[in-house]
Amino acid sequence: MKRFWFELRAYFAECDISLFLAGLVSALYGLALIYSATRSYNSDKYLVVQIIGIVLGLVLYFVMTMLDIEQISRLWKWLFAANLLFISSTLFFGVGMDSTGNNSWLRVTLGGFQIGIQPGEVGKILFIITLAKHIQHVGEDINKFRSILLLGLHFLVTAGILFISSEDMGMTLSYLFIFAVMLLVAGLKLRWFGGAILAFTAAFAVTWKLDIIPAYMQKRFLAVLNPTFDITGVGWQAYCSKIAIVGGGLFGQGFGQGLQTQSGSLPAKHTDFIFSVACEDLGFFGALIILGLIFFMICKCFAVTFRLGGRSYLGSLSAGVGSVFLFQVLINCGMCLGIIPVIGLTLPFFSYGGTSVMTMFLALGLVASARRFGAQPAGLSKFRY
């Protein structure tokens, strides 16, 4: 019995129990917020789905910590192909356009209970796994044109198929952010990023001028620049969200008592705007706890990257996971505050979504595995101009 407890303590020490606890506390906090957001629906469906997602996510977390992920990376080319097939499935079987504005979901009904899977969400993990191995394979040659071209194709093929299949701009942008961060910590020279930003800005200006960007997307940008623009249309979500956030003040209106939330005025309150629910119910300090938990996990992810090195497989993998959390918290909170266009990205661990919470625990499991099986400290690749 003593040996069992010794092994258990050693296991959690190697995997970093603080990372696990941060994810678990976040998921339970999110579950409470989902209860507050959906209590007026008179349905336990949302809680049941989220609880199932959390339980399965915990199982996936522990499974990942038991595996040496670097061994799995040998199959990266097969995983890359499998990911392309998986995310392209929404082109033929995707649903959700009426409610979400994209076809990013696969749904089946079993015994009267509908089960939904979001391939793009799961595909993030496969994208990180395969890109990390690609970066390790390139190694010191990362700044050579051929290496950048191949890495760029790795991203463009994945993100292109994702967008064509699902029309999910928010998810596609998250892949772009993951790609940029992983290349940055791997030592890609900053001048390449400068050139990419200039090219992207020019392309955006041209597509806007020629009306290639869909009208509804243009309106979302205009709603950010002018808070009163189309207040009853595309600006409605951000408008109600800001009312909820301001109404919460420092200490909130009370758990389950938020006026905008309980009246049904706040759209997508259990998914995209769960942060607004937290602000209205629990105020500034309730929101501060959310941000503290997520940024703690982000720091833990990048700490593994600094220890193992940005070009190492496990170090790059951890950076990819950290970038997922960083991008989604910045975009989601920005949407709720009305300073970023609404693009439908959830808040990790807190927003409703079985696929999302399972994927987040899986991602944490990858970082825990990297910490457990990682080599000796190697340091982060230096930034070069």
Does the predicted TM-score (pTM) go above 0.75? Answer: yes
| 33: phi then psi, degrees, rounded to nearest 5 | -70, -35
Contact 310, 139 (CB under 8 A): no
Looking at residue 383, what DSSP letter applies? P
pLDDT one-digit tens code per residue, 205-258: 888 777 777 777 777 877 777 777 778 778 888 888 999 999 999 999 999 898
Q: Where are the domains of the chain?
A: 18-373
- pLDDT value at residue 8: 67
Mean residue pLDDT of the chain comes to: 86
Quick one: which of 9, 1, 24, 37 has its CA closest to 263? 37
pLDDT one-digit tens code per residue, 95-128: 765 555 567 777 776 655 667 788 888 899 999 9
The CA dihedral of 162, 168, 170, 176, to the nearest 10 degrees, is: 20
Cα gap 98→197, rounded to integer Å = 33
